[in-house]
Structure 1
Amino acid sequence: MGDRLMMVGAGLSGAVLARQLAEAGHSVTVVDARDHIAGNCHTARDAQTGVMVHTYGPHIFHTDDDGVWDYVQRFATFRPYKNQVKTTVEGRVYSLPVNLHTINQFYGTALRPEEARAYVAARTADIPDPQTFEEQALAFVGPDLYAAFFEGYTRKQWGTDPSNLPASILKRLPLRFNYDDNYFFHRHQGMPEDGYTALVAAMLDHPGITVHLNTVFDPAETDQWDHVFWAGPLDGFFDYKLGRLGYRTLDFETFRADGDWQGCAVMNHPDADVPYTRISEHKHFAPWESHAGSVLYREFPRACGPDDIPYYPIRLAEEKSLLADYVALAEQASGVTFVGRLGTYRYLDMDVTIREALDLADAYVAARADGETPPRFSAAPL
């Protein structure tokens, strides 16, 4: 007879874990405090225009993990999608990530790849081991491109000077000396044809899974289950008794238009005097559909309060110190595994979230078979 399992959170982590463990013969109850499944990748049709809206901002699926790519296609048809981000700087539009077209347009040149490489290198700072975002940018693209494309956007996104942020934030952004404007470089890229909520619904559609929305789980009830998987905030499981881990949240200003308003899915706005970071036009996330009207979001990052939705973990020195204290508490807890973006206090792309959930499900099954304690975290937070 299988275990009685509690899955707290109906996002990707919870859905994948629930499906895998239900298929392994366990009985899984999934609860979510919100009135919908799919967490922050929730999608819904706009009643006025028919456009599929990414309710909590853009989500584009991309991965090099063949296993994850095969897995999601069990539950949804994925259409090809290339993420081609544009940015408006001082009244001119450029391509992102910074590529050969961006460089030539910005400097008014017609450089070939090797010429552009040397041209940019001559303008970068000699910083052998960059520690901060600013140092990494100056060593990466030099002061001109940094000031135009990165500085203002980063200040707005994180609410602090880029010199206070770690270099790792910038290290995952590409710099290209060709005309490739595909934002991602992964082999598999696409969008679920009917949206992410339909994808998650298909994962949760199993006789061994029961879903309850608008339901808050009390950690004090952990011992009433054979095991609990907690995809909520790590500090929330402990009622924030050591203080709150820092996040950035987002406010969305929705507006509608007729026709095609900006000609692309995402337009960044790094200029310091523009209060938002980007505008997303949701009809372009489903280019195989046709809609007369359009739904757009202006995106305003700010500090996350107790009643806000946490988006981006800050993970600076103060937060990492508090995180270490919460990890120590978690290691002492019994009957619970902390999973996903919030449970491990890490920024995760969707494919990594799914991979970690798949691996954790296997680890749980193996641990139970061997009479061992299941992992405390889906991945180490520190």
Structure 2
Amino acid sequence: MHVLLVGAGLSGAVIGRCLAEQGHKITIVDGRPHIGGNCHTQRDDKTGVMVHVYGPHIFHTDDEEVWNYVTSFARFQPYKHRVMTTSQEAVYSLPINLHTINQFYGKTLRPDEARAFLETQADTSITDPQSFEEQALRFVGPAFYEAFFKGYTEKQWGCSPTDLPAAILKRLPVRFNYDDNYFFHRFQGMPEQGYTPMIEAILDHPGITVHLDTMFDPAAISDYDHVFYSGPLDGYFDYRLGRLGYRTLDFERFTDQGDYQGCAVMNYGDRDTPYTRITEHKHFSPWESHEGTVCYREYSRECGPADIPYYPIRLVKEKALLADYVALAEATPRITFVGRLGTYRYLDMDVTIREALDTARMFLTHATEGSAMPAFAISPL
């Protein structure tokens, strides 16, 4: 078959590679001048630092097949992600761990003592947390909530934490040991030369043709046996029902000499600090050494029509509109919506790759059986 993939990010690259290896002809188009989507990396000309152009991407997974997949296309270096936060004129490590608890409260608690102490700080009158705020108050109490969650969340989501569902904070990261590794997955690392060369290697197959700076024309769908679309779901239908809500990010890039902040990510929990965090990109490649440094201040705001969508909001209004777009998609033949934007879900890279592998295999099964591929391999609802 001749298959079109819209988007040269992880979803398009992985699906395209899987289908090309089975003999299908693959055409990939992307409106940007580079491959990799938001995972795109490039070296800064002046400093030599590997920059995560659209913000940092840390690879972490418990999925051994996905780990073996990415490491077959790129050499990965070990990387442990550690995040600090500046709050109330002090610096703490995240996620909240035993050191954070002892430092914040000026104590020397052991794990069992810290558990018991934190329970005395929690609002135990909240038995069924319904909002983000209630969830935080129930499990860590008002002092931790004010210091680490309230201001940061208001900046990140542009609304009160009382308006956000408790599910966002269901797995509250509190550790009663001194482990400050931000992620807990078995496999963690960074591609030695960045994500863009890794995705180039995935796309390096004679059955794959890539066209950059090329916008998708829905009228061209009839030229292909099937289309996989990883752009915005509402955008495919020209926003005819309205726009799904997203948050976007503005990056204020600056350079310096030496080590600017001593860590890869410094969050800013206070509401009166306008940015949510500063990322220092040379710390994402700790095996390299550079005299200069490249940093980004990140500002979160509502996503406008001309902005890059980052975080789907998925509150009640958006879910209702999403259901209407899903119905439209399911009535559209020969197209499958994939990835973060195509399914209006926040996806880590490993989940994106897992779903792409599964989607490609599902397509191959349908092709063998002569049956129709559904609009969604995994329902966005």
Q: TM-score by structure 2 length?
A: 0.99
Paired amino acid for 2:314: R
Counterpart contact for 1:345–1:381, Cα < 8 Å: yes
Counterparts of 1:184-333 in structure 2 under 5 Å? Answer: 184-333=183-332
Counterpart contact for 1:133–1:165, Cα < 8 Å: yes
What's 2:175 paired with? 176
Q: 2:101 aligns with which of 84, 103, 113?
A: 103
- Tell me the alpha carbon deviations over residues 176-233 of structure 1, each in whole angstroms, 9 at most, x when there is no partner: 0000000000000000000000111100000000000000011122121100000000
What's 2:143 paired with? 144
Structure 1 stretches lacking a partner, 5+ long: none
What's 1:114 paired with? 112
Counterparts of 1:50-65 in structure 2 under 5 Å? Answer: 50-65=48-63
Paired amino acid for 2:317: E
Counterparts of 1:353-364 in structure 2 under 5 Å? Answer: 353-364=352-363
Give the stretch that moved more between structures: 253-262 or 212-221: 212-221
Report percent identity of matched pairs: 68
1:173 deviation in Å? 4.1
- Tell me the alpha carbon deviations over residues 148-178 of structure 1, each in whole angstroms, 9 at most, x when there is no partner: 0000000000000001111121124411000
Counterpart contact for 2:246–2:303, Cα < 8 Å: yes
Counterpart contact for 1:340–1:378, Cα < 8 Å: no
Structure 2 stretches lacking a partner, 5+ long: none
* 2:294 counterpart SS class: strand
Paired amino acid for 1:39: G
* 2:121 counterpart SS class: coil
CA RMSD of aligned residues (A): 0.7
Q: 1:68 aligns with which of 51, 56, 66?
A: 66
- Within 2, Cα distance between the matches of 1:378 and 1:265? 35
Paired amino acid for 2:68: D
Paired amino acid for 1:161: S
Counterpart contact for 1:344–1:378, Cα < 8 Å: no
1:306 deviation in Å? 0.3
What's 2:341 paired with? 342
- Within 2, Cα distance between the matches of 1:347 and 1:353? 9
* 1:141 counterpart SS class: helix
- Within 2, Cα distance between the matches of 1:131 and 1:372? 43
Counterpart contact for 2:330–2:374, Cα < 8 Å: no
1:377 deviation in Å? 1.1
- Tell me the alpha carbon deviations over residues 65-108 of structure 1, each in whole angstroms, 9 at most, x when there is no partner: 00100000110011110000000012211000000000000000
- Within 2, Cα distance between the matches of 1:207 and 1:174? 45
1:375 deviation in Å? 2.5
- Within 2, Cα distance between the matches of 1:129 and 1:351? 32
- Within 2, Cα distance between the matches of 1:378 and 1:10? 19
- Within 1, Cα distance between the matches of 2:378 and 2:10? 15
* 2:252 counterpart SS class: strand
Counterpart contact for 1:357–1:378, Cα < 8 Å: no
- Within 1, Cα distance between the matches of 2:172 and 2:35? 30
How many residues align structurally? Answer: 380
1:110 deviation in Å? 0.4
Paired amino acid for 2:354: R
Counterpart contact for 1:256–1:293, Cα < 8 Å: yes
Counterpart contact for 2:122–2:141, Cα < 8 Å: yes
Which structure 1 residue ranges, 4+ long, deviate > 6 Å from structure 2?
none
- Within 1, Cα distance between the matches of 2:362 and 2:171? 29
Q: TM-score by structure 1 length?
A: 0.99
Counterparts of 1:360-371 in structure 2 under 5 Å? Answer: 360-371=359-370
